[in-house]
Chain A
C-alpha cells in the first residue's frame, strides 16, 4: 500500500526553512493556539496559516481539499459546541482546530518525509545512551505522518466501493473493509520494510 503523497515539491520560503526549525515552530504555534482564549488572537493565527499557504505557493487543489476536510469536521462540531457551551466557546474551539490542523498540513506539504526522518534522528541522537534508537524513532515519526495520508486513501477507496454497491449509508459496509484493509496495509508495510532489511538493524 502506497502511503499517498502529502509533500508538494517547491522552492518557496516554507520549503527552504530547516526542518528542525519548522517542527519546533509548529509545536510552538500549537502551544500558543492552545493557551490563547481570544477569538481575535485565534483568528490572527488562522490568518498566519493562510499567509503560510500563500508563501508556499500551494496549488488550489490542496487548499480546497484542506478547506473541505476542515468544513466536514468543524461545521457539525461548531453546531454541537454552540448548543452545549455557547457561541463564544464554540468559535474558540473551532478556530483553535482550524489554525492547528492548517499549520500541521502546511508543514507536511512543505517538508519531505526523508528530511523529517533525518531531523528527528539528529534530535534524538543524545537519547541513544538511554536506549532510544534514533533511526527507529525517526522512521516511527515519518511513518506516523504518512499513516494519515494512507488511512485517508484507504477510506476514500472503501467509500468508492460502498457507493458502487449502493451502500452509501451503511456504517458496517464502511467499517469492516476499512479495518481489514488497514490491517493488511500494516502487514504489507512490515513486509516491505523487511524486504529492504530495515527490520534487521
Chain B
C-alpha cells in the first residue's frame, strides 16, 4: 500500500504539491492532471527520486526518504522518455543490467533477459542496439528492464507520451496483464478507463478521487 500523508513539495519558491493525502491500495491507480499539476513530482516521491518538502510517503510502511534502498527494491519506475532510462547499448544488456545485483550467474542473467524481452513483444531483439529501436520498442524495453527487478509496485510517469495509437494499445495491454500494483501518471484518458481508481490533480492538489468514469467526467469538465 502507498500512503501520502500531507505531502507537499516546492521547487525553489514554486510550490508544486500541496497537502496531498491518499492511500493507494488498488491494483491499478491512475493520476491525471494538466501540465504542471504535480503528477510527475508526486509519482517521483514514491521511490524517493523526489523527497517531499513536507509530509511523508509510505510504501508498505517504509518511508523512501529514510529507507530508500528498501523501497526501491519494491518499486520499479518507468520514465516518460525511455532514452533517460536505457543505460546499456543493447536491449539484452539493458535488461540483464537490472539483474546484476541478483545472485544469478552471467549466463542466467542473459537467458532471463532474453525471456523477459520475448514475453513483452521484443523477441529476437536481445542483441539489437537499444538506440536503434522504435519509440514504442524503447518504451517496452524500459518496462522490461524494470520488470526484471520484479518490483511489487510499478510506477509509470507518462510512459505512452511518445507512442502511436497502436503501440499505446499494446502498452496498455501489457500494463493490464501485470500482477504488480500499477500507479500510472498519464494524459492518455483512454488508457485508464478500466483502472480501479483515478486521482485528478490540479495545481498540486488532489481535486477528485474516484472511479474512472466519475473522475474522468470531472477532469474533462475541469479542462473545459
Contact = CB atoms under 8 A, between A and B. Distances in A.
A191 B84 contact: yes
Nearest to A193: B87
Interface stretch (B23-31, B91-99, B173-181, B194-202): B91-99
Interface in B139-189: 145-146, 149
A44 to B, nearest CB: 31
A50 to B, nearest CB: 24
A117 to B, nearest CB: 8
Interface string B78-119: 010111111111100100111011000010000000000000
A149 interface: yes
Interface in A44-90: none
A200 B72 contact: yes
Nearest to A4: B131
Interface residues of A, number: 29
B16 interface: no
A9 to B, nearest CB: 4
Contacts of A200: 68-69, 72-73
A192 B89 CA distance: 14
Nearest to B106: A118
B127 interface: yes
Contact of A5 (B83, B90, B97): B90
B101 A201 contact: yes
A146 B138 CA distance: 18
Given A118-B106, A197-B72, A153 B87 contact: no
